[in-house]
Structure 1
Amino acid sequence: MRDRMGALAAFLVTAGAVSFGLYSCTHPLPPLGQNFADGSYRSSECGTLTLRKGSAKFGQQTVTYEIERRKGDIAIITPHLLGVVEDSSGCHVVYDASSFPLYISLGRNNPPAAIILPGISNQFVYKFVRQ
């Protein structure tokens, strides 16, 4: 009797996993639009980062980005590194075209509540809150 119950339980778990896998493959999540994260994000120390239809604007610079759905969140990715640097004039957002790209998490909220950017010359992270 115990062997039959174990076999039945294994069959049900396997059938459930296969059903979930088939459903996930045939019903993928809809793609995210380029305007998903549109808005202004402000850090009290580092200024404002504005996202509009695939372009990130900070200071006098504008950089393109793509939005991707990842396993645990939604993120933007720029062609190269986007981060924060601190110098004698304070901290500000910079784009390093000589460096690698980096995923920037938008979290799970819809619309995103904040953006977290890494520090380039230190191990800090900087939070830009949606206005």
Structure 2
Amino acid sequence: VSGHLEPWHKLDNKVVFVTGASSGLGRDLCLDLAKAGCRIIAAARRLDRLHSLCHQINTLYGTVRAVAVELDVSADASTINKSVQKAWDAFGHIDTLINNAGIRGIIKIIFILANYFSIFSKLPNSSIVAGQ
């Protein structure tokens, strides 16, 4: 089992952008990644829940290890771009995106995904992990 956990021990100071971080799997991922030494950019629509999560992480570790960024993945490209810029500015770079945010209802999915991924594809040397 310890061999399977080994990669988690090599995540110190990696900056991970987690969408859908305000509850459920996204929230749990943020907590686990912070425990593994990552710096967290927690993104979602519910800013109050993000602030609570980031406060919990930062208090637990006694340093700013998590920041909240309001992000609605169904927003227009300009709005998403502003959120990504805030995320980038928080720690100076982003190593990995965990794309956990869900979208429901009747939406123009092709337009949204085209805008969303075109913005994140501009991140240099980053890893994108798709969820949901």
TM-score (norm 2): 0.24
The structure where strand makes up a greater share of residues is: 1
The structure where helix makes up a greater share of residues is: 2
Greater relative contact order (Cα < 8 A, sep 6+)? 2
Of the two, which has the highest radius of gyration?
A: 1
